[in-house]
Amino acid sequence: MTHHWEALGWTLVHFLWQGAAVAIVYRMADRALARHSANARYVLALAALLGMLAVSVTTLAYEEASYYQSTPRTGAAAPHFALAAQPVAAPLSETARPLQSASLDPMSLQHFMPYLDTLWLAGVLFLSLRALGGWWLIRRLRRRTYQRAPHTLLLRLDVLRRQMGIRRLVDLRLSERIASPFTAGVLRPWILLPVTALTGLSSEQLEVVLFHELAHIRRADYLWNLLQTMVETLFFFHPAVWWISRRVREERELSCDDIAVKNCSDPALYASALLRIEEERRSRLQLAMALDGHQSRAGLRARVLRILGTTEARPRGFRPVSFAGIAAALIVFLCPLPKVFASFRAIPKVATSIAPIASNVVHKAIHPILQAAVPTPKPSADVPPPAPNEDQQNASPEPAQNAEPKTEGHSDYIDEMRAAGYDVDLDKYIAMKVQGITPAYAAEMSKEFGAKLSADTLIALKVQDIAADYIAKMRAAGFDVDASKFIAMRVQDITPEYAAEMAKATGETKLSADRLIAMKVQDLTPDYIARMHAAGYDADPGKLIAMRVQDITPEYADAMAKVGFGKPTVDQLIALKVQDVTPEYAAKLHADGIEASSFDDLIKYRIFNVSPEFVAGMKSAGFDSIPAKKLVELRVQNVTPEFAKGIRAQFPDATVDDLVKMRVFNIDEAFIASARNHGFAPLTIEKLVKLRISGILDDADQKKESQP
């Protein structure tokens, strides 16, 4: 058994009492914060959980270090401080590694260390596989089992996202496999809603549910949940870890409840939404960041009462389980105490072994200060120097590398930069020092730009090796811009020669710095400009940049000119390329009987997905030879072949315009059936439109539903 496994085993043993101690401290602090916000209690619980991780890592480092401290260092390659400490550490060599001698006892705790490590590894492996399974399930849900959310709901989500100050885009998806909303993703967050939420919740309830999920995203709860799962996996054997972890999840949900209620006009809406979702939750899939927080029905009841502004009385008193828990905690706390006391007894020995090293370090740190404060008197020629005493004669000389550096003529870099007006933090001083920024360079750059530059600007200028000569050359070429533009031009390696070359190629008298930077970023070369000019596209620099962004070549322009609609303009070329319209796409449309009269028709077909499959479906529904403009209009109004087939079955004389009209006024089969049930016969499309505009059927249906 290596010392690494031994250190791991003792770390696990020590964590038994350390975890219990952290839990006790957390419990007392949590009682003190009982009247504070849920977010404060959440931060406390999360800090306790991370504190357990920090304590265990510190213990592991201590156990690893104690092995090397108890092992004597010998040999010519040992460092100087180890040789100086040998007389003190010599007694330890006689009893070195007391843990090894203890391992001879088959009943000692160290004898069971291999089995303890093996059981711990098995538990960690099992829980890791379980966590990976959950991750795989979430990934599978994102890729397969979802439907697109309605466009209006996506727009509303974007408004709520901006209202909560979330800059990242949030995706919204629907699934039939879950019954409770949940949130996932760190860099690209997304929300998964059950399909039943759209049918079972009102728009106000759905909005407050989205507020709850967006609160998870704004607080980065998914990332903290991953870290929480890691702590649970590593310390699965300790009940205190699971208890505090459960508290973290409870307080997390309460914190998001507070944010949702704050953005809700009526807390009862949110409470009713929770209860409605709970009805569907029991028999469905549950995930990490679900709205219910994996709470029991009693926990949900407490959340609802809290949202409504009331509290539920909690029974007090000890139960038999409480006494069993206290007894188990005492056993866990007392088990590793012999090892702890043994480590306390070893502390003085370790301290005596490192005392000479510490004394030497302190002496080297303080000696220059004392020497500067009390100058050493120069020896007189009449007074002989004092003879060295016996200790000084026997002392071994210091190695050359340990000699004190001379401090005469040394200047403090921080003081110099502060004197130059740069009173910044330590990180900025380090960055400026690394880049070789001096007060002279700062003064020179400030003079060039007519104002004092910030530390960040100075660092950026120095990183890009911008000196006064580069600034003078660019200004002589007509570019009198600020420091940020000089930095951007230097990053893109823009020289006066490049500026003159691009101005000549584009035919412009002078190009701006922004235009030059954009050209360089898009790799716009004189050769590309000459080729586009030869193809007949003498465009301005802005259009040339746009064509280069879309990777438009003379060959592509020539191929589109042969489609049959003449030579496309620059704007048409850009639009065609953006929509990925190719000559092959145009030929396929023509082969399938979809005629286009211009490039604009091709672009519209591509935007609104007018495909051969759609045209074939409309033909099977009885609508042949649809004009190009009407095809686009049908796709805009979301007229499907199924809808057209159903309307044609009831109204054989229906036209394409009738289909569009019925879609505009939301006349579907249910509305038609309602009109017939109310005795409006015979029915025509015009009569259905008038009924929809008047709202007569809507009022009648509402009255019918309200009757018992």
Write the secondary structure of 445-466 as one string of H (helix), E (strand) and C (coil).
HHHHHCCCCCHHHHHHHHHCCC
3-state secondary structure 251-285: HHHHHHHHHHHHCCCCHHHHHHHHHHHHHHHCCCE
Residue whose structure tokens are 């004597």: 72
Report whether pLDDT(652) > 50: yes
pLDDT recorded at residue 632: 87
Confidence of residue 587 (pLDDT cuts 50, 70, 90): confident
Does the residue 600 lie in any domain? no
Mean pLDDT score, 159-186: 83
**Res. 282 pLDDT band, cuts 50 70 90:** low
Residue 158 banded pLDDT, cuts 50, 70, 90: confident
Peptide bond into 568 cis (omega under 30): no
What is the per-residue pLDDT for 334?
53
- Considering the entire predicted model, what is its pTM? 0.41
CA distance 664 to 430: 66
- Structural domain includes residue 286: yes
Q: How many CB atoms lie within 10 A of CB 57?
A: 11
Question: Any residues with CB less than 8 A from the CB of 650 and at least 6 apart, and which?
Answer: 669, 672
Given pLDDT bands bounded at 50, 70 and 90, which one contains residue 147? low
Sequence-distant (≥ 6) Cβ neighbours of residue 255 within 8 angstroms: 37, 38, 39, 42, 215, 219
Is residue 503 a contact partner of residue 528, using CB atoms and an 8 Å limit?
A: no
**Do 120 and 166 form a contact (C-beta atoms < 8 A)?**
no
pLDDT for 76 equals: 39
DSSP state of 579: T
- Is there a domain that residue 376 lies in? no
Which segment, 653-662, 668-677, 693-702, is predicted with the most confidence on average? 653-662
The predicted structure's pLDDT at residue 142? 67
Structure tokens at 532: 């586009």
pLDDT at 701: 54
Final residue of a domain: which of 287, 314, 341?
Answer: 314
Q: Which of 2-6, 291-295, 495-499, 614-618 has the lowest mean pLDDT?
A: 291-295
Same domain flag for 290 and 174: yes
Helix, strand or coil, per DSSP, at residue 320: helix
Burial of 549 per CB tally in 10 Å (0-12, 13-18, 19+)? middle
The answer to whether residue 446 is domain-embedded is yes
Query: What is the pLDDT confidence band of residue 102, given thresholds at 50, 70 and 90?
Result: very low
Q: How confident is residue 509, by pLDDT bands cut at 50, 70 and 90?
A: confident
- Candidate ranges 163-167, 194-198, 276-280, 395-399; pick with highest mean pLDDT: 163-167
Kindly write down the DSSP assignment for every residue of 617-676, as one continuous string.
HHHHTT--S--HHHHHHHHHTT--HHHHHHHHHH-TT--HHHHHHHHHTT--HHHHHHHH
How far is residue 354's CA from residue 348's CA, in Å, rounded to a whole number?
Answer: 10
Residues with Cβ within 8 Å of 501's Cβ and at least 6 positions away in sequence, in order, are 526
| % of the chain beyond a pLDDT of 90 | 14
Whether the Cβ atoms of residue 634 and residue 659 lie closer than 8 Å to each other: yes
Does any domain span residue 696? Answer: no
Task: State mean pLDDT over 331-351.
Answer: 49
CA distances 289 to 190, 226, 239, 292, 644, Å, are: 11, 10, 22, 8, 42
Comparison of pLDDT for 423 and 698, the residue scoring more: 423
209-268 per-position pLDDT tens digit: 888 888 888 888 888 888 888 998 888 888 999 999 999 988 888 888 888 888 877 777
Mean pLDDT score across all residues of the chain: 76
Residue 390 pLDDT greater than 60, yes or no: no
Token pair in block for residue 477: 């070429």
Helix-, strand-, coil-residue percentages of the chain, each rounded to 5: 65, 5, 30
Same domain for 435 and 306? no
Check if the beta carbon of residue 18 is closer than 8 Å to that of residue 52. yes
Dihedral sign, CA of 332, 334, 340, 344? positive
Q: Lowest mean pLDDT of 98-102, 106-110, 276-280, 552-556, name the range.
A: 98-102
Do the Cβ atoms of 58 and 18 come closer than 8 Å?
no
**Residues 671-686: what's their mean pLDDT?**
84
- From CA 388, how far away is CA 394, in angstroms rounded? 10
- Regarding whether 432 and 306 lie in a shared domain, the answer is no
User: Does residue 289 register a pLDDT over 50?
Assistant: no
Could you say which of 477, 502, 521 is where a domain stops?
Answer: 521
Res. 391 pLDDT band, cuts 50 70 90: very low
CB of 420 within 8 A of CB of 442? yes
| Total number of domains constituting the chain | 2
pLDDT band at 47 (very low <50, low <70, confident <90, very high): very high
DSSP-derived secondary structure letter, 195 = H
Q: Other CB atoms closer than 10 Å to residue 346's CB: what's the count?
A: 15
Least confident of 129-143, 363-377, 553-567: 363-377
pLDDT of residue 553: 92
Distance CA 330, CA 322 (A): 12
Read off the pLDDT of each residue in 523-534 and give the average, rounded to a whole number.
90
Q: What is the CA radius of gyration of the chain?
A: 39
Q: Is residue 210 included in any domain, yes or no? A: yes
Domain boundary among 472, 499, 521: 521
Nearest to 598 by CA among 640, 623, 569: 569
In a shared domain, residues 425 and 308: no
Q: How far is CA 53 from the centre of its chain?
A: 22
Task: For the beta carbon of residue 363, count every other beta carbon within 10 angstroms.
Answer: 10
In this predicted model, which residue has the larger pLDDT, 348 or 35?
A: 35
624 lies in a domain? no
Give the whole-angstrom CA distance, residue 699 versus residue 368: 94
CB of 148 closer than 8 Å to CB of 173: yes
Q: How many C-beta neighbours within 10 Å does residue 581 have?
A: 23
Domain span at residue 289 reads 141-314
The answer to whether residue 672 is domain-embedded is: no
Q: Is the pLDDT of residue 311 over 90?
A: no
As to burial, measured by CB atoms within 10 angstroms (0-12 exposed, 13-18 middle, 19+ buried), residue 234 is buried
Decide if 55 contacts 22 (C-beta within 8 A). yes
- Whether residue 160 is found in the same domain as residue 279: yes
Whole-number pLDDT of residue 310 = 60
Is the Cβ–Cβ distance between 167 and 146 less than 8 Å? Answer: no
d(CA 650, CA 697): 19
**Which residue type does 362 have?**
V
